[in-house]
Structure 1
Amino acid sequence: MYPGRAPVLVLSQNTKRDSGRKVQLENINAGKQIADVIRTCLGPQAMLKMLMDPMGGIVMTNDGNAILREITVQHPAAKSMIEIARTQDEEVGDGTTSVIVLAGEILASAEQFLEQQMHPTVIIRQYRQALEDIISLLEGPLSIPVDKNDKSALANVVKGCIGTKFIGKWADMAVNIALDAVNTVMLTENGRTEVDIKRYAKVEKIPGGSIDESKILRGVMVNKDVTHPKMKRRIENPRIILLDCTLEYKKGESQTNVEISGETDFTKMLELEEEHVRRQCNDIIALKPDLIFTEKGVSDLAQHFLLKAGITAIRRVRKSDNNRIARACGATVVNRTEELQESDVGTGCGLFEVKKLGDEYFTYITECKDPKACTILLRGASKDILNETERNLQDALQVARNIMLQPRLVPGGGAIEMALSQKIMQKATHGPYRAIAQALEIIPRTLAQNCGANTIRTLTALRAKHAAHKEENKPCAWGIDGESGELVEQKDSNGIWEPLAVKLQTFKTAIETAILLLRIDGIVSGSKKKGDKEGAGPANMAAQMQE
């Protein structure tokens, strides 16, 4: 009907397909570059990165998530790669470097198929199938159960996580701290286990001393001193009351006007204030506590009444610290002094004392009978060392938590990736499915590269070990020793084993991110170019398409 228009339509379709292919290749390239940045941060021989922020602050770390948080990138695909490290960190706390390296390699493996004009949907379908097979293999024959009560087995897994980090030299101490902290904050209610590390296992960093002096307190430590110098600074078996209200007369808002006509009126106002504070203090004194913590202020008058009754007061405690104290000593945080009851008083604490560490005073509530909260006290030479130690310890805490919630393990040192690669290669019928199997080998390959081993020879020997493995119901535990680059079998007692939860999350996140980025065939910018008119019509929209 319109003979002259057919070539134009064909041309526009070709152009659009070109643009889609170009965007996909650029996304792949962005993913590869992000992976290259932190590839050297994998394994025990990992190199550190020194990051400088615009304010002149310096961070030295080999934690994948910490590095990527500080990097500024423009490319949207690179931003989504950085996001997956954060997801991995929040979800399982470990494997942030592995997930980026793996996602970069899976994206790179798709490049050859796009160049062969294979449609992205076909590649994605094969990738999804591979992910399903990986999950069923991991949850089935390739993982082994572990006894949650076997402390040495759990310690071995946590040691495997922090062996690659700065704190690796003090591994035994860090492992004991992590396991004790997780056991302390673990709460089982209605058959459901909850381990809330973020809220109830607080890390306090105090510069000075050596890392060996770090310890875990069976209770809570807060950076506070008593409000009045004559109050007691050491009480055994104290009765504790926690408040979320001020012990002072509430002032009016800025619009409040008070007219005073006679001399007695002002005295009367002061008496009313005093009466209010006295009533609040009498409510507290009636329960005979030894110690009160409040999140708000305590007036001089209230201090006077409390001191006369022999009660120690600590004010302006953070809400999070107050909740931790409540869990440690069994008290309930009360909002109004009139509502105080005997059941709100905490009696589970063995010792309250105020100590001086460095230049500051700290309040200790320790020797608790059944604390469901704890404080980890970190000492170290400088703030940089303390920050890095805290990052490493958080990983150890998360790994300990993962084993408690899902007590299954897989062999580390690249062994599980090579075992999966072998199994998937045997099932492979299509190119993209086989590409996933090859991409999984990037973890053992990077481990070998980072400790200076001959990569080709090491990987060939490792493939041979896995090919010779005949036991169907047990994973082949041959992996790479990250220190020397030699092949090593991960024995149950002294090998490196990792929680199944970490590996599952790593593979799911890496493959699903690769799938997501492969589905993008155009990037449209929302910003207007100079000279654009207000109404952004189709012509303007086309102009804003970025290659």
Structure 2
Amino acid sequence: MIPGSSAPVIVLNTNTQSDDGKRAQLANIRASRAVADIIRTTLGPKSMLKMLLDPMGGIVMTNDGNAILREIDVKHPAAKSMIELSRTQDDEVGDGTTSVIILAGELMTVAEPFFTMKIHPIIIVSSYFKALDYALKVAEKIAREISIENHEEIAEVIHSCIGTKFSSRWGSLIVDLAVKAVKAVFINRNGKKEIDVKRYAKVEKIPGGNLEDSRVLTGVMFNKDVTHPKMRRFIQNPRIMLLDCPLEYKKAESMTNVEMTKEEDFAEILRQEEEEVCKLCHAIMKFNPDIVITEKGVSDIAQHFLLKQNISVIRRVRKTDNNRIARVSGATIVNRPEELQESDIGTKCKRFEIKLVGDEYYTFMEECEDPKACSILLRGGTKDVLNEIERNLQDALSVARNIILDPKLVPGGGATEMHVATELTKIANTIEGIEQWPFIAAASAFEVIPRTLAQNCGCNVIRIVTELRSKHSEESKDAPYWGIDGNEGKLADMRVIKIWEPLVVKKQTFKTAVESAAMLLRIDNVVSGISKKEKRQGAAPNIEDAEI
């Protein structure tokens, strides 16, 4: 009997696969299920944490799916493929890394009976893709659009997405940081939206202080001090010059032999070097900057000349930091001092200050006019807390970015998945032939998200999931919005408790899970490069017994 079907099943052996192919497919299913089981308990607001030990002896405590799977060392190729899913999901949308693994694992698990019935994998894969098309349409249908100008609505969505994380105990602090940072780096060029959080919203973690001291700067900060103790550390309305070249004598690139025959020769060489550096400094001083920041080195002679003109110098700044400074100050990064122009000088920053924070000096460039980059300053008691807060903040930033780029939301709490499962079950009755069975199985696989939420909050799983299924079977407008309240362990209207998720995250989760499951199910053999010694002995790799 097939789940969801009352008719007896007569299976014809139309499968031309070898036993080796079937064995490899069943091994892949077991590996996928094992990976999904590792992080199943980390879904939802009452989720458990995992303690990870890295090779260097460090400890990480987190419930972030991607962070957990990143640290796991696996040997089975199918398990490695599953781990890549969470990385892909994190790179694309930054959220849903746990859901995608659990859903993909369930899609693999429900396909197992069909291999024992000798149904060809291509039929299963075809049904899965058909189910994916319908699932995306159902998700689109129940989505609602919000205004990106409405700060409260955006904050609600981010709050519901990171409500399952460690940082949720600090209320709206992380949410506010994420919204401010994303709005700071948001650029709308002729209707084309651009939000590059990874490059232009830098997180600076400084142990010490309280988490409430964390803030988004109206500018940037970086871990550098001036090159000379007598240079100014506080400047109002500074003129900023950014360079990508060394302020020191350039040695010849090819081997140069210098022959010195007299005592004065060495002094002459030093004088020529000093002249070269002096030319560079004069080209800079001509524009009267207050601050010179370069990505390369600055010689002692150059420091001396610039100090006499009361110019503060910061050297060996990272390229990424220099790009952020250019965005907030309005300066242009110049490769040669001889090519400098007045328009290259940045004047948008109103306050330059170097402060001692903890044990190190940090440069703050704040009060900038319309900065298109920012730094997020995080304070906390320990490095472990700061690392977990940063992971949560990255998720919040991704959610905020997704909402602003595509402001459509679907209900959370497993409501969308259960509604998709219910609608797919109804559609299955219209599908004829053997393809109907994998289609019904794919529909039941979507129920794994609400079922896992119910398991993790400790309620009666069978009763809650049955009640939720019957709610979604009702022909009413409210049906799609009923899900599981992970904190209380009971059914709730997601519109009332305000649990929403971005549509783009949900669609990416469905696509990634179904496509990866389909790809793994089509594998009928795993070939391993074995050593010549084993080849001589006639040994073959036993994929079925491969370790997870």
TM band (smaller chain) = over 0.9
Residue-by-residue CA offset, 1:285-339 (whole Å, 9 max, x unaligned): 1111111100011111111111111111111100100000001111110000001
In structure 2, C-alpha distance between the alignment counterparts of 1:544 and 1:16, rounded to whole Å: 19
User: What corresponds to 2:62 in structure 1?
Assistant: 61
The answer to whether structure 1 residue 79 and structure 2 residue 85 are counterparts is no
Cα RMSD of the aligned pairs, angstroms, is 1.7
The verdict on how the C-alpha distance between 1:363 and 1:83 changes in structure 2, with shifts beyond 3 A counting, is: same
**Paired residue secondary structure (1:21):** helix
Distance 1:154 1:15, change over 3 A: closer
Answer yes or no: is 1:309 the counterpart of 2:324.
Answer: no
Gaps of 5+ in 2: 1-13, 430-435
Contact 2:472 2:479 in 1 (8 A): no
- The answer as to 2:371 corresponding to 1:371 is yes
Q: CA deviation at 1:491?
A: 1.6
- Aligned 8 A contact 1:469 1:476 in 2: no
TM-aligned CA deviation for residue 382 of structure 1? 0.9
- State yes or no: 1:362 paired with 2:362: yes
- 1:121 to 2:122 alignment: yes
Q: Distance in 1 between matches of 2:256 and 2:129?
A: 66
2:414 and 2:449 in contact (8 A); partners too: yes
Structure 1 residue 466 and structure 2 residue 476: aligned?
Answer: no
Q: Secondary structure at the match of 1:356?
A: strand
- Alpha-carbon distance between aligned partners in 1 of 2:374 and 2:59, rounded to the nearest angstrom: 30
Gap regions ≥5 residues in structure 1: 1-12, 534-538
Deviation at 1:256, TM superposition (A): 3.1
2:49 paired residue number: 48
Matched, 1:476 2:480: yes
**Residues 15, 119 of structure 2: 8 Å contact kept:** no
Residue type of the alignment partner of 2:293: F
8 Å CA contact 1:523–1:545 kept in 2: the answer is: no
2:11 counterpart residue number: none
Is 1:91 the counterpart of 2:92? The answer is yes
Moved more, 187-196 or 443-452: 187-196
Query: Does 1:532 pair with 2:535?
Result: yes
Distance 2:190 2:177 in 1: 28
* Distance in 2, Cα, partners of 1:544 & 1:111: 23
Match of 1:280 in 2: 280
SS at match of 1:292: strand
- 1:269 Cα deviation from its structure 2 partner: 1.1
Is the Cα–Cα contact under 8 Å of residues 224 and 363 in structure 1 kept in the other structure? yes
Whether 1:191 aligns to 2:191 is yes
Whole-Å Cα distance in 1 between the matches of residues 170 and 232 of structure 2? Answer: 37
The aligned counterpart of 2:521 is: 518
If the length of structure 2 is used for normalisation, what is the TM-score?
Answer: 0.93
Q: Give the match for residue 248 of structure 2.
A: 248
Give 1:236 deviation, angstroms. Answer: 0.6
1:432 aligns with 2:438: yes
Determine the structure 2 residue equivalent to 1:22: 23
> Partners of 2:532 and 2:150 in 1: how far apart?
64
Is structure 2 residue 504 aligned with structure 1 residue 501?
yes
**Structure-1 residue corresponding to 2:4:** none
1:233-262: CA deviations, max 9, x gaps?
100110100000011112345843211112
Judging changes above 3 Å, is the alpha-carbon distance between structure 1 residues 29 and 201 closer, same or farther for their aligned structure 2 residues? same
Deviation at 1:544, TM superposition (A): 5.2
SS at 2:489's partner residue?
coil
Q: 1:272 to 1:475 in 2, by over 3 A?
A: farther
1:371 to 1:475, Cα distance in 2 relative to 1, 3 A = farther
Query: Residue 342 of structure 1 aligns with which residue?
Result: 342
For 1:216 and 1:53, the matched residues in 2 are separated by 31
The Cα shift of 1:74 comes to 0.6
CA contact (8 A) 1:162 1:171 kept: no
Distance 1:382 1:511, change over 3 A: same
Question: Do the aligned partners of 2:15 and 2:118 also contact (CA within 8 Å) in 1?
Answer: no
Counterpart in the other structure of 1:8: none
CA shift, 1:543, in A, is 4.1
Q: 1:281 to 1:379 in 2, by over 3 A?
A: same
1:448 maps to 454
Partner of 1:258: 258
User: How far is 1:17 from its partner?
Assistant: 1.4
Q: Give the superposition deviation at 1:527.
A: 2.4
- What is the one-letter code of the residue matched to 1:487? L
User: What aligned pairs does 1:109-258 form with structure 2 within 5 A after superposition?
Assistant: 109-139=110-140, 141-252=141-252, 255-258=255-258
Q: Kindly provide the amino acid, as one letter, of the partner of residue 95 in structure 2.
A: D
Worse-superposed segment, 358-367 or 209-218: 209-218
TM-score, normalised by the number of residues in structure 1: 0.93
1:154 Cα deviation (Å)?
0.3
**Partners of 1:522 and 1:545 within 8 A in 2:** no
Q: Is the 8 A contact 2:471 2:479 kept in 1?
A: no
One-letter code of the match for 2:438? P
CA distance in 1: counterparts of 2:506 and 2:57, whole angstroms: 36
Cα 1:195/1:375, change in 2 over 3 Å: same
> In the alignment, is the contact (CA less than 8 A) between 1:421 and 1:440 conserved in 2?
yes
1:271 corresponds in structure 2 to 271
| Secondary structure of the corresponding residue to residue 350 of structure 1 | strand
**Alpha carbons of 1:83 and 1:231: their partners in 2 closer, same or farther (altered >3 Å)?**
same
AA paired with 1:68? L
2:348 alignment partner AA: G
Equivalent position amino acid for 1:340 in 2: L
Give the letter aligned to residue 28 of structure 1.
I
Structure 2 counterpart of 1:521, one-letter code = D
1:264 Cα shift? 2.2
Provide the residue aligned with 2:432 in structure 1: none
Q: For 2:492, what is the secondary structure of its paired residue?
A: strand
